[in-house]
Chains A and B, each alone.
Chain A
Amino acid sequence: MIEILLARGPYLLVVLLAAVGAYLMMSRRTLLKAVVGLYVFQTSIILLFVALSYRTGGTVPIALDDLPMHNPLPHAMMLTAIVVGVATVGVAVAILRRIQAESGSIEDTGR
């Protein structure tokens, strides 16, 4: 059991975060919660890529010697994905401000 958790740990966390994020997106009283849920969901995917890059016995990806390295490419991609995620949150919050200005609240009215 412990071994399975250790071997699959990051992936279990990915599933957990994705579930929490999806739940937050759907069960919302205020629209801000949907933004948080979306961000948590995106974080689960970032973790998925980072977990993929792990190599047993690996080291930092700087080619100085012949040691096995963790794969640097997913990290590079996820830097971009993080930027995309932050930009999404920025646009979402800007839209929330417009909703607040228009209807006086950011409660979810079901529309």
Chain B
Amino acid sequence: MSEQNQAFDRRMLEVLVCPMSQTSLDYDSEQQELISKSAGLAYPIRNGIPVMLQDEARDLD
């Protein structure tokens, strides 16, 4: 299987939190992002791997 087409494993949402605020995350399957409302950040999921770094996150408006 190509590593580009890997799906995000939703079960990970049970343990993942925002590394900045340590609050729960919402999964946006369309954008392939994990949203932290409290920190105002969207963490990218690349190749099915969540990238939980502040530097890589997108600021929410």
Asked if A pairs with B, the answer is: no
